[in-house]
A and B are shown apart, each in its own frame.
Chain A
């Protein structure tokens, strides 16, 4: 097992190296440069040239790439010129916020998605199944940013149960309750689509398992229906549900970009959008590399978990 993990980690290195080249090239190739973005109407060729020199952007692309890569290997991600602070501080702080939001949404969609799928499968073609299938279809069909805006209208503007935006109150204690009240709407808005997807897949995985012989055996031995469904069948179905959860975790993470913008959540997605518009090259590059590295590691973790759960997957 240690060998397998090590092998996977080593194979991630060329992937990350490729990502640094791609993100660097994209930022170099898209039109517009930071000096023009900063100067706006005042971007005379002369001013642009001077500012680019001050920003260290007058070197050749190859030089710029290796300086950036070299600095990054020593842990120096550079300084964001739109925010005037170290890229790594900004990325870590923002990634933290995204993890809170996406993590909560992931827990919500895993719990509710799997539960809905199981209940649906256990009552195939019954009223509960039809009801859940309908709600799930609805959930999958609503774009999350639209749902987010509607939730703000209902629960924040009209009912005033929750704050409209942000992660912490501007005044008052930054305690757990304050976080939960800020987190509720965006986490639900973000979780809805993934919940639907997971529910559908969990339902079919369960139906597959429920047709198998060991379930009939369990029933024949007198295990009560609840035990059959939740202990025997679900455990077997989890093998095909877990990879879906892994994929959905990626979707939740990328879906967080929209939700972060609608709810002004100070996360890494919103940061990247702002940074791209401002041509804040180092922040975009540092942010993308960091998120990509986390995603690669997460994928390895999912594969490892699956191989632990299902010995048929060769390590």
Chain B
């Protein structure tokens, strides 16, 4: 019997005393009104200024209030026009000229045009800009390649980059590239984050601190008015409480359902949505020193760890086994020929014996939890058991997330042999470029904390970043994945499937591979 199904009689008996004392106070859990979608969020947003925030939680609201020049096509991670109708890229890949959509107005009534686009990026990038002080803008480096933005005419704008940079378009589709109203920034200054104005399907109505952010349908939306009258985003930080609110009808849509709670939502009253995204969970192996300096031992670790069991038993099916460094959600850049390392402890023992490191001691950094880390302690324990089964002696060191990052990002040398890590990115370039190149070793400011180095991989990644043709980029990434899988700088573990639950009153909802929450096509009865 599940915890949530008590007989009515038991409950009535136990609750009778309180019912008597409270008289008419009850009946509080009113039905949520039709046309108004109530979303259970995981935290209070920091600000509703897309240039100033970094959390997926905040992006979930922002993507419904603002548009970017481009956006991801529904259900994919491929870029399509949004506020820009089309664009041209110069031969050398350094000039992007965008034609802008005519007749679009911000929610505050001011016009969207080339000047507005220039204002947005100058605000983030130019320290002399009069509104640069409305920051800080932590993710401005997404656009650090932008050298100059030129207004050609009212509806044409040209970006000049300091070098070819293929991820530029996907970065524009990322929330950091969403376009805000310059008039509203001028009016509210540093308070813009609480008085947002964009061009999106919903207009900002109200922010009651620690209670709700309310947005209302924009009847004049250029891409068709949404059917919802309003959306209410409620911050409910405790996952159990969020689950209880969903069961009690206090919210209509719940994101990030804990794996153990999924069974509560079986049946016709709820729909569970799942979507794999651009996420990869891996173990960084220290390739500079210790047993993992030998590629055979790194491969052995990949064979030794039972990823199927971790994904199915620890994560209750909320993730898929990862085959390589690039998540399959980047469909165009993913190499479908890669097969995950099978679970083969005998093969692992063989490789370890060949390398002569039987019984080696390993220090393993584990975190208590963090962005995208899923269930790191339980996963770490399972991995420890698998590695000890093939003869290693694994010592776990557990750290709180911020401390963990402070230990791992500067590199594992002299400290640990392996560390957990997870990344969510918006372009297949980002993670390998920042974490697998030789010139991304920590002392050069990158995230290659395990000191992996392969000149061919470096070449491929540099070439892919400079290429503007998607087909050409794709073939470069695919070759990179094959090499990296064989070199095994990481143990490739899992690709997370994001989940959400909707009540039976909600229609037309789908999760996106980008992990953004798009509500303009949602209907609530």
Contacts and interface: CB of A to CB of B under 8 A. Distances in A.
Interface of A: 31-33, 35-47, 51, 54-55, 82-85, 90, 93-94, 149, 152-172, 177-178, 180-182, 184, 261-264, 266, 270-271, 274, 279
B425 to A, nearest CB: 8
B31 to A, nearest CB: 10
9 contacts: A38-B54, A47-B138, A152-B244, A158-B4, A158-B11, A163-B29, A165-B245, A170-B38, A171-B36
A262 B371 contact: no
B409 to A, nearest CB: 6
Given A36-B405, A154-B15, A165 B28 contact: no
A264 B241 contact: yes
A293 to B, nearest CB: 22
Nearest to B235: A264
Given A84-B47, A156-B244, A32 B26 contact: no
B109 interface: no
Given A36-B402, A171-B33, A160 B248 contact: yes
Contacts of B447: 41, 44
Interface in B26-45: 26-30, 32-33, 36, 38, 43-44
A33 B54 CA distance: 16
B339 interface: no
B525 interface: no
B405 A43 contact: yes
B250 A264 contact: no
Interface of B: 3-4, 6, 11, 14-15, 18-19, 22, 25-30, 32-33, 36, 38, 43-44, 46-47, 52, 54, 135-136, 138-139, 141, 193-194, 209-212, 232, 234-238, 240-241, 244-245, 247-250, 370-372, 400-403, 405-406, 409-410, 423-424, 434, 442, 445-447
A8 B418 CA distance: 56
Contact of A177 (B25, B210, B423): B25
Contact of A90 (B27, B136, B209, B248): B209
Contact of B14 (A45, A85, A152, A154): A154
A306 B387 CA distance: 64
A155 B136 contact: no
A178 B141 CA distance: 47
B348 to A, nearest CB: 29
Contacts of A159: 11, 15, 26
B138 A42 contact: yes
Contacts of A47: 138, 141
A246 B480 CA distance: 67
Nearest to A89: B209
A32 B6 contact: no
Contact of A32 (B15, B54, B406, B434): B406
A171 B29 CA distance: 11
Contacts of A45: 409-410, 442, 445
Contact of A164 (B14, B248, B403): B248
A165 B405 contact: no
Nearest to A83: B46
B6 A84 contact: no
Contacts of B236: 165, 264
Contacts of B19: 161
B18 A43 contact: no
A282 to B, nearest CB: 14
Nearest to B43: A274
A170 B244 contact: no
Contact of A154 (B6, B28, B402): B6
Q: Which 5 A-B pairs have the closest CB atoms?
A: A32-B402, A266-B210, A54-B136, A161-B26, A181-B28
From A35, A41, A162, residue with most partner B Cβ within 10 Å = A41
B123 to A, nearest CB: 14
B136 A162 contact: no
Given A32-B405, A54-B136, A159-B26, 12 more contacts: A38-B138, A44-B447, A94-B210, A160-B27, A160-B29, A161-B26, A162-B26, A165-B241, A165-B250, A167-B211, A170-B232, A171-B30
Given A40-B54, A160-B29, A181-B25, A262 B241 contact: yes
A93 B442 CA distance: 43
Contacts of B28: 160-163, 169, 178, 181-182
Contact of B402 (A31, A152, A262, A266): A31
A149 B245 CA distance: 12
Contacts of B238: 261-262, 264
A266 B212 CA distance: 11
A31 B404 CA distance: 9
A172 B33 CA distance: 11
A153 B244 contact: yes
A164 B371 contact: no
Contact of A51 (B14, B36, B138, B234): B138
